[in-house]
């Protein structure tokens, strides 16, 4: 490295003399690249082959040379994970043709005028963190540049006028930055341009009439800016255009008829502007159209019958306009159609039977129109259909059983119509079905029991109908929200608080917080109460009963160990010199094996701790925790395991503990060591002084409560710790608020991770017994022996924890005669539009709704009943960062 700094120093101070003393055909390129490397951080060692002692860089990673001259012609370092600034050293590469530094983390402004390189043709600095303005004369000498991409950075200011000098330019991509002002007029005259992408900026002004100067343009993207005015007639002169995206601007007026000349155009996207007039009949002349998106404008009139002439059409969107009339029968000719969205218009008439001829159709959205008549039986012919939305129309008749032939269906929405008859059994054949909304109709009959077998179902709303009988008693329906089945007077079951004639009387539920000592005494309010508990509540109670039995069993198994443990602890820890704790493999009860992962301990001043009740910090499913201080004054927390009869052999135990000892993260409590004898096992952790999250949320007093910023930091810190554990193939198994500790600076530190790995097998009965206090955090797959326990169990527990932090309520709360499950309560509130009622009142309105509500929704997503529907923790971290810093992402969580 010293040699690198010497070379850089010489280059900066005596460049001219140095260059004359070297062979420029070799050393200029080496020198330039080493100078570039000196300003770059390379965390993944991608540039380790770049050795300053080499005579040529032609064998370095990312470097290509001309085989005749051995001069560097290409530097391609895409996705190398590099950070830092772009160095002037690159200007030494006098024969460079291509420079691509895309998909890195480069920062700073574009101050080095790379356009000066006489042979540079391709410049790609996209997907970095470059910022600042580009000097107005930056491209004054752009030589033979053919392609420039600065997309996905944070560059601001105006687009430099000097770009007009790049007469050889064929591709210009400045999208997803913060450019503002008007587009320099000279750019519209670069007749060599084939692709112009200025989308997702802050540009304004009008599209000029001299756009026809771009006669060779193939792709034009100006979407997501502030352009205004009309589309000039002259756009019809750009006959080679294949893609036009003018979406999300303030453009207005009617579509110019000259656009019918664009017979090669395959994508025409005008979404979210203020265009008026009719959708012209000449649209059928644009024979190559594959995507036509006119949604969210002010178009009126009918959908032209000429739409059927677009035989290549795959996507047609005209939603949220003022379209009237009926759907043209000619649509059946668009046999390649994948998506048809005409929702939120004033379409009338019946649904054409020819919809069934569209065998490739994935999405059909006719919602919020004035359609009447029946749902045609022919709908079953759309066998590729994944989303069917016909809600908020005036449809009548029965739901056709032929919908069961749409075997790929994921979402079905028929709400707010006048549909009658039963819910067809054929729905149970749709194994991919996730969301069903049949609410606000006139459906009758009994809900098919087979619907309980749909393994992916996550939403099923049948409220406000005339259904009767008992709800299915399996699958998703075990935890369905009461709101989703409300307003069906003859429906019975736990979710609607109405007993069925075939159902046994309501079981007695004792309040665990009650002080009544007689288990046979039923409170008067319960004795006369006819309400029945929700399915979720019954599951919680049943789980509690199983857990209680398990605790008794474990207690019996450990009586001998518990009686022997104090003697072992005393024998092991009452010593003066520590000789008994040399790293001995002995497993004698009086001479155990102590291992500290860093340094040698001295327990001489803390030997009494394990025998002193005053030093106990708490007890959990796996053991009691005590605070003690080592001889060097270092405080530690020692967990005395109470599962001695269940732990693995010494070899397996030590192997698992050592793995856990290698897991380090600033949001995890560090495992510092362990102690082993056959009858006593200790885990030695760092001591965290700030108490646990449970106490902060539920036992705070004197006005001491967590602000929203505190809560958000705890949520994201916990998420990062779990993501790190999962990267290390460690499942927590026991996430709950009492296992999230808060240090003196308010940072969360997750404890008790991976302890289930110490058991001989991941037996669900044993796990349920050991994590009895995690009732409410346990994923539903714990109750199913055939479903694999994965990291998604932690995701579920994290989702519950998120809801607990936001609402300030416990995961399961026992009322006088009911049990409230937090997930059900929040989900119901969301569906009823009462979101803010769920937020902890102690924050007294001092919270940003644009953060709190998306976080709450994320918590519900994480608690999906189906494991595959839950995100992984890495995705959760990304979403949380996007919620906190939305300007750094493409979209916000909705």
Q: CB-side exposure of 7: number of CA atoms within 13 Å? A: 22
Residue 834 confidence (pLDDT) above 60: yes
73 with 97: CB under 8 angstroms? yes
Q: What is the CATH number of the domain that holds 605?
A: 3.30.200.20
Q: Is the pLDDT of residue 582 over 60?
A: no
Q: Could you tell me whether strands 459-461 and 105-106 are parallel, antiparallel, or unpaired per DSSP bridges?
A: unpaired
Residue 603, pLDDT > 90, answer no
Helix (H, G, I), strand (E, B) or coil at 451: helix
pLDDT for res 450:
92
**Is the pLDDT at 247 greater than 60, yes or no?**
yes
Same domain for 437 and 489, yes or no, is: yes
Average pLDDT over residues 235-258: 94
Cβ atoms of 572 and 675 closer than 8 Å: yes
Q: Judge contact between 408 and 432, C-beta under 8 A.
A: yes
- pLDDT grade, residue 833 (50/70/90)? confident
pLDDT classification of 626: cutoffs 50, 70, 90:
confident
Q: Are residues 410 and 394 in the same domain?
A: yes
Does residue 563 surpass a pLDDT of 80?
no
User: How far is CA 292 from its chain centroid?
Assistant: 30
Is 755 a domain residue?
A: no
Residues 713 and 682 in one domain: no
Sign (positive or negative) of CA dihedral 558, 559, 561, 566: positive
**Residue count (the chain):** 894
Q: Does 478 lie in the same domain as 559? A: no
pLDDT at 831: 79
Is the model more confident about 457 or about 2? 457
Within a domain: residue 78? yes
Residue 220 lies in a domain: no
Which pLDDT score is estimated for 91? 93
More confident: 820 or 55: 55
Greater model confidence, 454 or 757 = 454
Per-residue pLDDT tens over the stretch 83-130: 999 999 999 999 999 999 999 999 999 988 888 899 999 999 999 999
**Residue 354's CATH number:** 3.80.10.10
CB count within 10 Å of CB 529 equals: 13
Strands 131-132 and 154-157: parallel
For residue 724, give Cα distances in angstroms to 668, 855, 873.
Answer: 9, 20, 9
Mean pLDDT over residues 130-148, rounded? 91
Same domain, 735 and 672: no
Do both 467 and 548 map to the same domain?
no
- Residue 213 is predicted with a pLDDT of 80
Return the pLDDT at 892. Answer: 39
Binding-site members for ATP are 640
Task: Quote the CA–CA distance of 287 and 457 in Å, as a whole number.
Answer: 41
Q: Name, of 123-127, 564-568, 807-811, the range with top average pLDDT.
A: 123-127
The answer on 797 and 848 residing in a single domain is: yes
How high does pLDDT run on average in the chain? 81
Whether residue 743 is predicted with pLDDT greater than 70 in this model: the reply is yes
In a domain, 184, yes or no: no
CATH code of the domain covering residue 859: 1.10.510.10
Average pLDDT in the 507-518 region? Answer: 36
Predicted confidence (pLDDT) at residue 70 exceeds the cutoff of 60: yes
Q: What are phi and psi of 293, to 5 degrees?
A: -120, 105
| The pLDDT value given to residue 546 | 47
Domain coverage including residue 598: 534-688
Q: Answer yes or no: do 594 and 728 share one domain.
A: no
End residue of a domain, out of 91, 109, 142: 91
* DSSP assignments along 625-687, one per residue: EEEEE-TTS-EEEEEEES-TTTS--HHHHHHHHHHHHT---TTB--EEEEEEETTEEEEEEE-
Model pLDDT, residue 370: 95
Between 143-152, 270-279, 518-527, 600-609, the lowest mean confidence (pLDDT) is in: 518-527
Same domain? 612 vs 567: yes
Q: For residue 648, name the pLDDT band (cuts at 50, 70, 90).
A: low
3-state secondary structure of 383: coil
Domain presence at residue 631: yes
Share of the chain above pLDDT 70, in %: 79
- Whether residue 320 lies inside any domain: the answer is no
- What are the pLDDT digits (tens) for 5-18? 444 444 443 343 33
Query: Is the residue at 4 inside a domain?
Result: yes
Task: Tell me the binding residues.
Answer: 640
Check if the beta carbon of residue 643 is closer than 8 Å to that of residue 554. Answer: yes
Please report the pLDDT score of residue 589 as a whole number: 35
Of all residues in the chain, the percent with pLDDT exceeding 90 is 52
Q: What is the structure's pLDDT at 812?
A: 84
pLDDT of 5: 43
pLDDT of 20 above 70: no
Alpha-carbon span 541 to 812, nearest angstrom: 10
Residue 526: pLDDT above 60?
no
Number of folded domains in the chain?
A: 4
Tell me, yes or no, whether 86 lies in a domain: yes
Residue 339, pLDDT > 90, answer yes
In this prediction, residue 300 has a pLDDT band, given cuts at 50, 70 and 90, of very high
**Residue 517 pLDDT grade (very low, low, confident, very high; cuts 50, 70, 90):** very low
What is the pLDDT, as a whole number, of residue 347? 95
Domain boundary (91, 110, 127) is at 91
User: Are 788 and 832 within one domain?
Assistant: yes
745-800 pLDDT, tens digit per residue, is 788 999 988 887 776 544 444 454 444 445 678 888 776 655 577 899 999 999 99
CA distances to 7, 275, 320, 529 from 347, in Å: 74, 19, 11, 51
pLDDT score for 310 = 95
- pLDDT computed for residue 545 by the predictor: 52
SS3 461: strand
Residues 576 and 614 in one domain: yes
pTM value > 0.75: no
User: Please, which contacts does 683-686 make with residues 24 or more away whose CB atoms are closer than 8 Å?
Assistant: 683/638, 683/639, 683/641, 683/657, 684/596, 684/601, 684/636, 684/637, 684/638, 685/636, 685/637, 685/638, 685/639, 685/751, 686/636, 686/637
Residues 460 and 570 reside in one and the same domain: no
Domain stop point among 644, 662, 688:
688
């Amino acid at each position: 490295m010293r040699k690198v700094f010497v070379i850089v120093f010489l280059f900066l101070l005596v460049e001219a003399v140095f260059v004359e003393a070297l062979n420029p055909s070799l050393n200029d390129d080496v020198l330039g690249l080493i100078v570039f490397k000196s300003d770059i951080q390379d965390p993944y060692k991608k540039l380790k082959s770049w050795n300053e002692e080499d005579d040529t860089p032609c064998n370095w990673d990312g470097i290509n040379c001309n085989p005749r001259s051995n001069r560097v012609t290409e530097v391609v370092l895409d996705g190398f994970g590099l950070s830092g600034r772009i160095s002037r050293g690159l200007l030494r590469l006098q024969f460079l043709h291509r420079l691509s530094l895309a998909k890195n983390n480069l920062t700073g402004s574009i101050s080095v005028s790379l356009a000066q390189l006489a042979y540079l043709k391709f410049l790609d600095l996209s997907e970095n963190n470059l910022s600042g303005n580009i000097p107005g004369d930056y491209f004054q000498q752009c030589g033979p540049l053919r392609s420039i991409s600065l997309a996905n950075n944070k560059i601001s200011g105006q687009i430099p006028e000097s770009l007009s000098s790049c007469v050889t330019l064929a591709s210009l991509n400045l999208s997803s930055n913060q450019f503002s002002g008007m587009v320099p007029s000279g750019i519209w005259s670069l007749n060599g341009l084939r692709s112009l992408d200025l989308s997702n900026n802050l540009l304004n002004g009008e599209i000029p009439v001299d756009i026809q100067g771009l006669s060779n343009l193939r792709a034009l993207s100006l979407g997501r800016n502030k352009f205004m005015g009309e589309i000039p007639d002259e756009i019809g002169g750009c006959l080679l255009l294949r893609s036009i995206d003018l979406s999300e601007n303030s453009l207005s007026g009617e579509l110019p008829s000259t656009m019918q000349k664009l017979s090669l155009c395959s994508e025409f996207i005008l979404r979210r502007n203020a265009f008026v007039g009719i959708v012209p009949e000449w649209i059928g002349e644009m024979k190559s159209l594959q995507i036509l998106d006119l949604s969210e404008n002010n178009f009126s009139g009918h959908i032209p019958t000429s739409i059927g002439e677009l035989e290549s059409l795959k996507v047609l969107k005209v939603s949220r306009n003022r379209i009237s009339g009926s759907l043209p029968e000619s649509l059946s000719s668009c046999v390649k159609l994948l998506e048809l969205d005409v929702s939120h218009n004033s379409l009338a008439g019946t649904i054409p039977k020819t919809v069934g001829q569209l065998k490739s159709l994935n999405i059909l959205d006719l919602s919020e129109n004035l359609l009447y008549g029946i749902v045609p039986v022919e709908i079953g012919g759309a066998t590729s259909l994944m989303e069917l939305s016909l809600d908020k129309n005036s449809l009548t008749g029965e739901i056709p059983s032929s919908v069961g032939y749409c075997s790929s269906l994921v979402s079905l929405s028929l709400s707010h119509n006048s549909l009658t008859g039963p819910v067809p059994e054929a729905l149970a054949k749709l194994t991919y079905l996730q969301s069903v909304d049949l609410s606000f109709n006139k459906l009758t009959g009994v809900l098919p029991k087979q619907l309980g077998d749909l393994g992916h179902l996550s939403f099923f709303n049948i409220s406000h109908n005339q259904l009767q009988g008992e709800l299915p008693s399996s699958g998703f329906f075990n935890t369905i929200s009461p709101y989703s089945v409300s307003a069906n007077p003859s429906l019975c079951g736990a979710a609607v608080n109405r007993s069925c004639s075939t159902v046994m009387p309501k079981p007695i539920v004792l309040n665990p917080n009650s002080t009544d000592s007689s288990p046979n005494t039923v409170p008067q309010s319960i004795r006369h109460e006819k309400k029945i508990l929700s399915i979720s509540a019954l599951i919680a109670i049943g789980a509690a009963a199983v857990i209680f039995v398990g605790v008794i069993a474990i207690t019996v198994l450990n009586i001998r160990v518990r009686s022997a443990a104090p003697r072992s602890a005393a024998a092991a820890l009452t010593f003066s010199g520590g000789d008994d704790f040399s790293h001995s493999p002995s497993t004698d009860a009086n001479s155990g094996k102590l291992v500290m992962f860093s340094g040698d301990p001295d327990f001489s001043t803390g030997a009494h701790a394990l025998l002193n009740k005053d030093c106990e910090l708490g007890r959990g499913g796996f053991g009691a925790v005590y605070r003690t201080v080592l001889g060097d004054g270092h405080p530690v927390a020692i967990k005395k395991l109470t599962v001695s009869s269940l732990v693995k052999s010494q070899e397996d135990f030590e192997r698992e503990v050592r793995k856990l000892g290698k897991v380090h993260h600033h949001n995890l409590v560090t495992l510092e060591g362990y102690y082993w004898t056959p009858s006593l096992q200790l885990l030695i952790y760092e001591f965290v002084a700030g108490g646990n999250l449970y106490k902060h949320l539920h036992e705070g007093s004197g006005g001491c409560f967590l602000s929203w910023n505190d809560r958000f930091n705890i949520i994201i810190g916990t998420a990062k710790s779990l993501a790190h554990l999962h990267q290390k193939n460690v499942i927590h198994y026991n996430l709950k608020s009492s296992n999230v500790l808060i240090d003196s600076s308010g940072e969360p530190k997750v404890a008790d991770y991976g302890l289930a790995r110490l058991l001989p097998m991941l037996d669900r009965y044993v796990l349920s017994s050991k994590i009895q206090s995690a009732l409410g955090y346990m994923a539903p797959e714990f109750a199913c022996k055939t479903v694999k326990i994965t990291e998604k169990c932690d995701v579920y527990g994290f989702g519950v924890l998120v809801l607990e932090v936001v609402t300030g309520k416990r995961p399961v709360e026992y009322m006088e005669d009911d049990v409230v499950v937090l997930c059900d309560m929040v989900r119901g509130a969301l569906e009823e539009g009462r979101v803010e009622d769920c937020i902890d009142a102690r924050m007294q309105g001092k919270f940003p709704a644009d953060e709190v509500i998306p976080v709450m929704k994320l918590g519900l997503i994480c608690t999906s009943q189906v494991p595959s529907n839950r995100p992984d923790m890495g995705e959760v971290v990304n979403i949380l960062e996007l919620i906190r810093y939305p300007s750094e992402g493409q979209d916000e969580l909705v």
